[in-house]
């Protein structure tokens, strides 16, 4: 019902997306999207590319007077660095300069990237740039734009989400019991997205040390969504379970290597009695759980508690001091290719995770409450809450 496709290379002219199935009557502005793009671009630990790009979206179709029409949405983000790569990356044979392209050819695959695997798959081993241009995390800028459209839709139904960074390198946030709103506010004011100023300072210090040594860092972030009613998702097929859809979306973020919900891996040593959330009922007859170790999901379906997921981000694989590799042109052992890169993307990945989580939740809400316009969806939503005793 709700789907999107993206296109574009890292140093191509633009990143684009087509969204299909988005309902009519939703307020969709460039400013809301650009605010999220700015969050992605300016987190601590980003590299030189983010000083070039400004990441401003253009809404090319599907909106009139600030409201969605129900027709496909077309979004575009221009790559400002394109002017420096036009002769190397142009699809027009009259603009393309083969000699300059050969000078920029990549034949030394970088460990941890898609370079070698993609080169073997698509027969691009003569120039791995054909792989890394699309495999690059630059593509995630347009996914933030797409996910923000989903975010605006779910906020219309009083669902709100945020992220915060739990760990970067060896610097870690202690267990935090702040209310969701306060946690979100404190995280949003931090350069690394961490709600504790002391832990945030330690994280930035770790990033600075890694940068000075030509190294990179990974870490852990958490995404929380509040306001979701019970009953979103499904247990009837594996691919309709909301947790499987969310996990797939988050694991698709470059450098994310693991996803869990609620206690997740941290609960591995717990007994069943200590792990699961007991069910209680309020005087008003509403079911709730005093704890939320399940992370708001049971059997692939939301249970009315806040949705909580965590993700592990590996260190960025492009290093200032490259790891060893093999030159595919000569067969000789050599250092891997060096490309302009970030030192740490954990805070930026958290922003992207908000976007992909918002998108999957929006898709699940539309499946449940269907409709071609926001007003129709809102009516269906209110009726469901009333009939299921959630209001």
Note the pLDDT of residue 51.
78
Q: Is 14 helix (H, G, I), strand (E, B) or coil?
A: strand
Condensed to tens digits (0 to 9), the pLDDT of residues 293-310 reads: 999 999 999 999 999 999
The boundaries of the domain holding residue 89 are: 3-387
Note the pLDDT of residue 294.
97
The b-or-e profile of 349-371 (16+ CB within 10 A means b, else e) is: bbbbbbbbbbbbbbbbbbebbeb
Query: For residue 371, what is the domain's CATH number?
Result: 3.60.150.10
Note the pLDDT of residue 177.
80
Condensed to tens digits (0 to 9), the pLDDT of residues 312-350 reads: 999 999 898 999 999 999 999 999 998 778 999 999 999
In whole numbers, what is the pLDDT of the chain averaged over residues? Answer: 95
Say how many domains are in the chain. 1
pLDDT tier at 217, thresholds 50, 70, 90: very high
Task: Tell me the H-state helices in the chain.
Answer: 30-41, 49-52, 86-89, 98-103, 115-122, 129-135, 140-155, 180-188, 197-212, 242-251, 272-275, 346-369, 374-387
Is the predicted pLDDT of residue 162 greater than 90, yes or no? yes
What are the φ/ψ torsions at residue 262 (nearest 5 degrees)? Answer: 60, -130
Note the pLDDT of residue 204.
97
pLDDT tier at 49, thresholds 50, 70, 90: confident
Contact partners, residue 391, CB within 8 Å, separation at least 6: 382, 385
Per the CB < 8 A criterion, the answer to whether 225 and 359 are in contact is: no
Residue 171 tokens, joined: 């610097």
Residue 279 burial (10 A CB sphere; 0-12, 13-18, 19+): exposed
Note the pLDDT of residue 387.
93
DSSP annotation string for 284-301: TS-EE-S--TTTTEETTE
Note the pLDDT of residue 50.
73
């Amino acid at each position: 019902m709700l789907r999107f496709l993206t296109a574009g290379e890292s140093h191509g002219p633009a990143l684009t997306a087509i969204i299909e199935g988005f309902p009519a009557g939703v307020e969709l502005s460039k400013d809301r999207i650009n605010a999220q793009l700015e969050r992605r671009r300016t987190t601590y630990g980003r590299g030189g590319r983010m000083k070039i790009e400004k990441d401003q979206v253009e809404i090319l179709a599907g909106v009139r007077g600030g409201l969605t029409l129900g027709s496909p949405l077309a979004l575009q983000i221009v790559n400002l660095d394109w002017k420096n790569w036009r002769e190397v990356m142009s699809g027009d044979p009259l603009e393309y300069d083969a000699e300059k392209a050969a000078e920029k050819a990549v034949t030394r695959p970088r460990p941890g990237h898609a370079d070698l695997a993609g080169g073997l798959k698509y027969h691009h081993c003569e120039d791995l740039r054909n792989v890394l241009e699309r495999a690059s995390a630059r593509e995630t800028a347009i996914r933030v734009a797409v996910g923000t459209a989903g975010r605006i839709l779910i906020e219309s139904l009083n669902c709100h989400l945020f992220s915060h960074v739990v760990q970067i390198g060896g610097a870690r946030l202690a267990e935090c019991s702040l209310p969701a709103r306060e946690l979100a506010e404190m995280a949003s004011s931090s350069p690394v997205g961490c709600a504790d100023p002391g832990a945030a300072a330690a994280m930035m210090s770790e990033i600075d040390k890694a940068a000075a040594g030509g190294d990179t860092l990974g870490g852990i972030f958490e995404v929380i969504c509040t306001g979701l009613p019970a009953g979103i998702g499904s247990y009837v097929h594996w691919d309709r379970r909301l947790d499987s859809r969310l996990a797939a979306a988050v694991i698709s973020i470059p450098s994310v290597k693991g996803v869990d919900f609620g206690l997740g891996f941290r609960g591995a040593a717990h007994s069943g009695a200590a792990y699961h959330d007991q069910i209680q009922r309020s005087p008003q007859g509403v079911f709730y759980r005093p704890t939320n170790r399940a992370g708001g999901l049971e059997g692939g379906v939301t249970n009315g508690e806040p949705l909580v997921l965590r993700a592990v981000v590996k260190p960025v694989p492009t290093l200032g001091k490259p790891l060893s590799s093999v030159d595919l042109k000569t067969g000789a052992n050599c250092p891997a290719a060096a490309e302009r890169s970030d030192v740490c993307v954990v805070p930026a990945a958290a922003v992207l995770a908000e976007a992909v989580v918002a998108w999957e939740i929006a898709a699940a809400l539309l499946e449940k409450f269907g409709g071609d316009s926001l007003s129709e969806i809102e009516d269906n939503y209110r009726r469901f809450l009333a009939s299921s005793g959630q209001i």
